Structure formats: structure tokens, C-alpha cells
A and B are shown apart, each in its own frame.
Chain A
Amino acid sequence: MLESIWFVIWGVAWAVYFMLDGFDLGLGTLFPFLAKDETDKRILVNAMGPFWDGNEVWLITAGGVTFAAFPRAYAIMFSGLYTPLMLLLFALILRGVAFEFRGKVDSARWRATWDACLVVGSFLPALLLGVAFANIFQGLPLDAAGLFHGNLLTLLNPYGLLGGVLFVLIFAVHGALWLATRTEGDLQARAGRMATTLWLVEAVVAVAFLVLTWFSTRLWQHVLAKPVLLALPLMAVAGLLLTRVFAAKGAWWKAWFASSALILGAVLFGVAGLFPDLLPSSLDPAASVTAFNAASSPLTLKIMLGVVLCFLPVVIGYQLWVYLAFRDTVTAESISRGPSY
């Protein structure tokens, strides 16, 4: 029971991370396509300014939850996916400092350098996380000892790559919608057009991914065995459709929330379809790393459950407060008036 509760917490931590940092990573990816001049660029950066750091902690929490609740899964996943994880780390490092550094020296070349770091540091994590999760969905080449029999190229199979492209697209639409909620005038119009244009590609790739998931993974079989879980893929599909409906009306906040529902629904569908596996093995089902054979001791799981139940509601509370406190539209004028990046 404890293991199952922790499996849910594990999935939710990842889902919330993707929903929140997803818009930062997406907006960072679209940076060169949405920002025409230096003013636009600063508006984009400051539209993420007060939030990106707090969002990224959800990744640390997802990693921490894996480590604390399922140490064996943490050990196998992080060492097995060594190279992609290192790339992810370097990308996130460069993205993080780019925010702080880009405006610190008054030189076009300086800013261009850090802008490039921001773009690569946003695009690469989106791609890598998509590739990694799609590969987890279809199973990793793990033997009974938990050794990973593969390399970076093993992960770059068609289904894995499609997962990567899907993540990039979902985050890009999510980020464009975020910008539309935070800006006005021409930039807002361009962000909205970008979101609706990309939405079409996103929808096509999402449908292809869901179909391919039937053939490449056992997610659908698991979910169909417990029909109540069908609510999750339905939530994802409804979120996807509503994103377009609201975007067409220019209801940007509603569209952003619909896009969030898509992300939560899609990730939780994947997680529910994995249960009880954390890392299914493609070599031998018996070698799969599950919530039960990878879990920490009952005492640790109980104490950590107490910690999470105490602190996460508080975290969600103050993060919500921050989103409300900094909800004003970001404009050239607001940036020059107040503290900004």
C-alpha cells in the first residue's frame, strides 16, 4: 500500500514538474522565433523571471522522491541513462545562468551568447526528457542485476524520438500560451498565432504517439484493465482539444490551463500504465524495477510520507501566491520601471 502511494507521488511530482517548467522550457525553445528585438527578448525572459527557479525545484523533488522512496530505481535509472542525464544537467545549468547573466554586460555579442544558452538549454531538456520517458514506457534493456545493456543510440529509436518531439511540441505550445497570457499587443498576437499554428503539429504528433503507444508499449493494456484509469488519457485528449478551442477565442489563460490538463493527463496516463513498474525491462519482464522491489523500508516510506504531506501543501500554497503576486502583464514599460532581468 505504502509503495503504491509513493508510486502515485512519484508520478505526480514528474507531472507537476512538466506542467510548470514545461512552459519555461517551451518559451526558451521558441525564443528566437518569438522575439524580434531586444525589447521582445527581455519581455520573454521576464515573463518567466519570477517563476523558472521555483519550477525547476520540482525536478529536484522528482529526483529526490525517486531517491528516497525507490533508491534502487534511482540508482539504475540515473546510471543507466548516464549520458542523456549529463546532457540534461549541462543544458539546465546553462539555461539557469543565462537568465542571470544575459543582461549584465551591455554588449550584443554577450547577450547573443547567453541567449543561445537559453535556447539550447531549454530545447535539449524538453527533447531528452521526452526521449527518456518514451523509452521508459516501452522498457529499457535491463538485466536482472539492473545493468543497462545499451547506450545513447539505443534510446534514439523511432518511438523514443517521437516522444522527444512530442515533449518539445507540447512544451512549445504551453510556453507560447504562457507568453500570450503575460503580454499584450503585437507580441501577444504573435505568441497566440504561434500557439495555434504549432497546435496542429502537436495534435498530429500526439495522435501518432498514442497510436504507436498501443504497439510499442503495454500502457494501454494496463489502463484498459482498470477502465477508471481511462479518465487520464481522456483528460489529455480533452485538454488538447480545449487548448485549441480557447486559443481560437483568445482566452489565453483558459487555453494555458487546458494545455496544463493535457500535460497532467498525458504524464499520469503514462505513469498509471506503467504501474507497478518504475522501469520495465525490455529483456525480461521479471527483471523490471517495480515500486515493490525497489522501495525503501516501510519506516522510511512512512516518515517521508509525513514530510511530503506536511510540506508539499505549503509549497503549493506559496508558489500559488507567487504566481498571483506577479500576474501583471509584462511590458517594455514594466521592465524599465521595476527590477527585472
Chain B
Amino acid sequence: MDALTLSRLQFAVATYFHFLFVPLTLGLSMLVALMETQYVRSGDEDYQRMAKFWGKLFLINFAVGVVTGLTLEFQFGTNWSRYSAYVGDIFGSLLAIEATAAFFLESTFIAVWHFGWNKLSKKAHVTAIWLVAIASNLSAFWILVANAWMQHPTGFVLRNGRAELADFFAVITQRFAILEFIHTLGGAYLTAGFFVLGISAWHLIRKQETAFFKKSFRLAAAWTLIFALFEIAQGHMNAEILGTAQPTKLAAMEAHWETGRNVPMHLLAWPDAANERNTVQSLSVPSGLSLLATYSTGGEVKGLKDYPASERPPVLPVFLSFRAMVGLGVLFLALGLWAFLKRHRIEDQPRFLKVLPWLIPLPYLANELGWTIAELGRQPWIVYGLMKTSDAASPLATAQVGTSLVAFFLVYALLGAVDFYLLFTFARKGPDAATAAAK
């Protein structure tokens, strides 16, 4: 393998791994903030215990999220130096804004919240967790604006042999960025919702701390249902914008080869990229894809054959990831609805409760599938239509990148194993262990 392929693999490892921890941070910070707000407003001690218990799991998860984020900022320079020099004027600024405007706030106040239980007034303490929640979500905003610029570059001019900023406002308010941001948040909130539902279910089945976990369950059930509905309704807009912004990605997601009008949507298909066709396609909805992408049955949708093979993304993985993600989205809605409807008598649903803990990984999977579509579907471009991934890598020796890639595998595998072990252990211990003089 060459240095480019190794750098791509390394970026994939670093990003997939980092994003195992980010969504829970984004969602659980909000839920813990809501719990503690409820405690401050009502004085109900149960809500304080909830904030402490779920907050403890939040901290364990946060630790790995934050250290692996450091890698991502540095990797653009270490492994993608040609990219960094070419677009740093815009992309670098967005990362710098993220650090100064959001990440400082998040990292400083997470410690205030962790260490401040006995030091601060109730109001100051709950403010700290809200600052963490807002800052981590704001941080996601800036990162996703930066990613959206790679997906759909705007507000720039090509000058001095690089992309230079021309319209800052256009970059940070473009529709693509806003859609990407809210879609990512939706997925993150679902992750936190199922996390709380699953762990609560595990304890409810064992009749431990029933009152405590029923309260947690009720909050998470409403939360999950809201964001499952939101994610499906909103996710449609993300696919639709691709029709104009990234036609090759949309075509790969749908395994759509021939440009045309009244394009059907095949519920069942299997793409064959070598022969530029689908080996199987059936259960077709007439004009389905046209309608979805253009809001008109007669709307034209570009097919992959309109683009040279060298400018198409790998079709099969993008296509499969999209199907799986949408399928999971529908499942989340069904589960969220059931959890919400039965939330008051949830102890009468033993089978549902038994299944829920096993479903915790599913939103994680959906998040990673979403990023697979976003990043792999953008290939062969690193900045869509502007710069190819193959032109972006640093001039590194294969051995250098190979060594660091192996190190990433080993260190991340260790961190992942330890962190999930700790999450698992502390989730099982229940709220008493978390509220007793916390270590």
C-alpha cells in the first residue's frame, strides 16, 4: 500500500473512532442538563441523583472523545498537508473558531461541573452543565460547517494558487451546512436516547432502583421519539439537497446509472459498478427518486454514467450504507414510539425491556454509516469538484504512515476496550456508586 492509501485508512480509523464518543457527548450533555435543571427547579433529589449517575457515564465517555479530537485537528497538517495549504484559508479558520469559541468553553466548564458539586451554588452548577452542552453542540456546528465546505464548497475564489475566502457569511450559513449540522445532532440525540433507555431497561428488568430508572426512562422515551421523528423528516432534506449539490453521491446512494426523468426508486437492488448497472432491481416505486430529489415526478435526476468512472464514488458501500441507515432510522421511530406509549407501565413490557440494552449499539452504527455515506460518497474528491483526495496527501514515506497507522490501531483498540468496559461497569453499578463520594 502507498502512503496515500495508508493516510486514508488512518483518517478513517481516527474519525470512526472519534465519532464513537462524540454523539453521546452531544446528546447526554443535554439530557444531564435537563435532569439537573429539573432538580434545581423542583428540588426533587431523584433528579440530582440522575444528573450524577448519567453525568458519571458522560464523563467516562467524554474523556476519550476529547483526546481523540486532538488527533483530528493535527491530522490535516500531518497527513494532508497539500490539502491544508490549499484550503487552510477557509478550512483552518473554521477549526480555529471552533477552538476559541466553543472548545475552550466546553473543556473548562466540564471540569467546573465535575469538581463543583459542593463548591458552587445550585444555579451556578447547573449553568456549568448547560455551558458544556451548548459549547459541545456549538463545537459540532463549526466542525460541520468545515465539513460541509468540503462537501459543497462556497464563498471562495481561486487566487494565489489556492482557495481563498471571499464570503465568510456564505460559508457559515449555507444550507448544506445547516442541514448537515441538524442531521448530525439528531443522530447524536438518538444515540443518547437509546443509551439511557437501554441502561434503564437493564435495571428495570432486575427491579433495581425502579423509581429512579422509570423517571430516566420516561424522559428518554419522549426525547427519543421526538428526535426519531425529526431525523426521518429532516433526513429527507439531506438527500434532496444532494441532487444539486453532490449528484454523484446521490446517484451512488440510490445505485442510479442513467440520467432521466420519472426515475423510479428501487427498494431492492444490488449495484454492479464494473458493468455500470444493477444486477438486481425490484420493488420499484414509480418516479420515486425523481419525486424525492426534485419534488416532481417528472424531475430529472443525474445518473452515474453522466460522470467519468474516475469521478464516481465507490457505489456498493455507499449504496448499502444508505439503505442500512434509513432502515435503522425507521426502526428507531418504531422503538421510540413504543417506548413512549408504554412509558408509564414500562415494567409490564419485560420482553421489550430485555431487548433494549442490546439495541444501544444501533444508533452508533447508524452514525458511522451516515459518515460513510458523507465521506466515501464524496470520493474521489476531498473538496467536491475542487480537489481530489489523491492530490491532497502529505509527501510522507510509506513506512512513516504505516507505523503510525499500526500505533493508532493499537492505542485506540486499548482505549476503546477500556472505555467501554468502564461504561459497562459503571452503568451496571447504578446510581448509588455514582453518588457516593465519587472518585
In the complex the two chains form, what is the Cα distance from A318 to B96 in whole Å?
19
B93 lies within 8 A of A303 (CB): yes
Which residues 315-329 of A sit at the B interface, judged by CB distance below 8 A? 315, 318-319, 322, 325-326
A57 lies within 8 A of B99 (CB): yes
Q: Verify if B111 is at the interface (C-beta below 8 Å from A).
A: yes
Which residues 86-129 of B sit at the A interface, judged by CB distance below 8 A? 87-93, 95-101, 103-105, 107-112, 114-120
Interface of A is mostly: helix
B166 lies within 8 A of A299 (CB): yes
Stretch with Cβ within 8 A of B (4 or more), from A99-107, A260-268, A273-281? A99-107
Q: Verify if B328 is at the interface (C-beta below 8 Å from A).
A: no
In the complex the two chains form, what is the Cα distance from A86 to B59 in whole Å?
25
Across-interface contacts of A341 in B (CB, < 8 A): 439
In the complex the two chains form, what is the Cα distance from A246 to B85 in whole Å?
47
- Chain A CB within 10 A, most for which of B111, B164, B403, B422: B111
Stretch with Cβ within 8 A of A (4 or more), from B62-70, B207-215, B223-231, B342-350? B62-70
- Which of chain B's residues has its CB closest to A145's CB? B395
Other-chain contact of B81, A51, A79, A89 (Cβ < 8 Å) = A79
Q: If the complex has contacts A78-B81, A303-B168, A339-B117, are A83 and B400 also in contact, measured as CB distance less than 8 A? A: yes
A97 lies within 8 A of B415 (CB): yes
In the complex the two chains form, what is the Cα distance from A75 to B395 in whole Å?
11
Other-chain contact of A86, B95, B100, B168, B404 (Cβ < 8 Å) = B404
A327-340 toward B: CB 8 Å interface, digit per residue (1/0)? 00000000011111
A64 lies within 8 A of B98 (CB): yes
A90 lies within 8 A of B411 (CB): yes
Across-interface contacts of A311 in B (CB, < 8 A): 100-101, 104
Q: If the complex has contacts A86-B404, A104-B60, A338-B118, are A74 and B107 also in contact, measured as CB distance less than 8 A? A: no
In the complex the two chains form, what is the Cα distance from A315 to B108 in whole Å?
9
Q: Verify if B84 is at the interface (C-beta below 8 Å from A).
A: yes
In the complex the two chains form, what is the Cα distance from A152 to B71 in whole Å?
20
A299 lies within 8 A of B164 (CB): yes
A339 lies within 8 A of B118 (CB): yes
- Which of chain B's residues has its CB closest to A336's CB? B437
A75 lies within 8 A of B82 (CB): yes
Q: Verify if B76 is at the interface (C-beta below 8 Å from A).
A: yes
Across-interface contacts of B407 in A (CB, < 8 A): 86, 90
B63 lies within 8 A of A72 (CB): no
B111 lies within 8 A of A54 (CB): yes
Across-interface contacts of A86 in B (CB, < 8 A): 78, 404, 407
Which residues 156-172 of B sit at the A interface, judged by CB distance below 8 A? 159-160, 162, 164-166, 168
Q: Verify if A44 is at the interface (C-beta below 8 Å from B).
A: no
In the complex the two chains form, what is the Cα distance from A330 to B127 in whole Å?
25
Q: Verify if A296 is at the interface (C-beta below 8 Å from B).
A: yes
Across-interface contacts of B71 in A (CB, < 8 A): 89, 93
- Which of chain A's residues has its CB closest to B405's CB? A86
Q: If the complex has contacts A75-B84, A82-B394, A299-B166, are A326 and B119 also in contact, measured as CB distance less than 8 A? A: yes
Other-chain contact of A60, B60, B103, B160 (Cβ < 8 Å) = B103
A68 lies within 8 A of B108 (CB): no
A56 lies within 8 A of B107 (CB): yes
In the complex the two chains form, what is the Cα distance from A103 to B109 in whole Å?
21
Q: Verify if B73 is at the interface (C-beta below 8 Å from A).
A: yes
In the complex the two chains form, what is the Cα distance from A311 to B92 in whole Å?
17
- Which of chain A's residues has its CB closest to B90's CB? A300
Q: Verify if B79 is at the interface (C-beta below 8 Å from A).
A: yes
Q: Verify if B418 is at the interface (C-beta below 8 Å from A).
A: yes
Q: Give the size of the chain A interface in residues (CB under 8 angstroms).
A: 66
Q: If the complex has contacts A65-B96, A72-B85, A307-B101, are A300 and B73 also in contact, measured as CB distance less than 8 A? A: no
B78 lies within 8 A of A82 (CB): yes
In the complex the two chains form, what is the Cα distance from A91 to B49 in whole Å?
35
Across-interface contacts of B164 in A (CB, < 8 A): 296-297, 299-300
Across-interface contacts of B78 in A (CB, < 8 A): 78-79, 82, 85-86
In the complex the two chains form, what is the Cα distance from A77 to B84 in whole Å?
11
Across-interface contacts of B1 in A (CB, < 8 A): none
Give the shortest distance, in Å, between B286 (CB) and chain A (any CB).
49
Across-interface contacts of B97 in A (CB, < 8 A): 68, 304, 307
Q: Verify if A63 is at the interface (C-beta below 8 Å from B).
A: yes
A58-69 toward B: CB 8 Å interface, digit per residue (1/0)? 011101111111
In the complex the two chains form, what is the Cα distance from A71 to B9 in whole Å?
24
Q: Verify if A5 is at the interface (C-beta below 8 Å from B).
A: no
Q: Verify if A2 is at the interface (C-beta below 8 Å from B).
A: no
Across-interface contacts of A89 in B (CB, < 8 A): 70-71, 74
Q: Verify if B274 is at the interface (C-beta below 8 Å from A).
A: no
In the complex the two chains form, what is the Cα distance from A94 to B168 in whole Å?
37
B84 lies within 8 A of A315 (CB): no
B66 lies within 8 A of A96 (CB): yes
- Chain B CB within 10 A, most for which of A105, A297, A304, A319: A297
- Which of chain B's residues has its CB closest to A72's CB? B85
Q: Verify if A308 is at the interface (C-beta below 8 Å from B).
A: yes
In the complex the two chains form, what is the Cα distance from A293 to B65 in whole Å?
35
The 20 listed contacts between A and B (C-beta, < 8 Å) are A49-B115, A50-B111, A51-B111, A53-B66, A60-B103, A61-B96, A61-B104, A68-B88, A74-B85, A76-B85, A78-B74, A85-B77, A89-B71, A93-B70, A97-B67, A296-B93, A299-B166, A303-B168, A304-B93, A304-B97
Given contacts A67-B95, A79-B81, A85-B78, 14 further A-B contacts (CB under 8 A): A50-B112, A53-B66, A54-B104, A57-B99, A57-B104, A57-B107, A68-B93, A75-B85, A300-B93, A300-B165, A307-B97, A307-B100, A315-B108, A322-B111
Pairs A-B, 7 closest by C-beta atoms: A71-B88, A78-B77, A67-B92, A64-B96, A100-B63, A75-B81, A79-B394
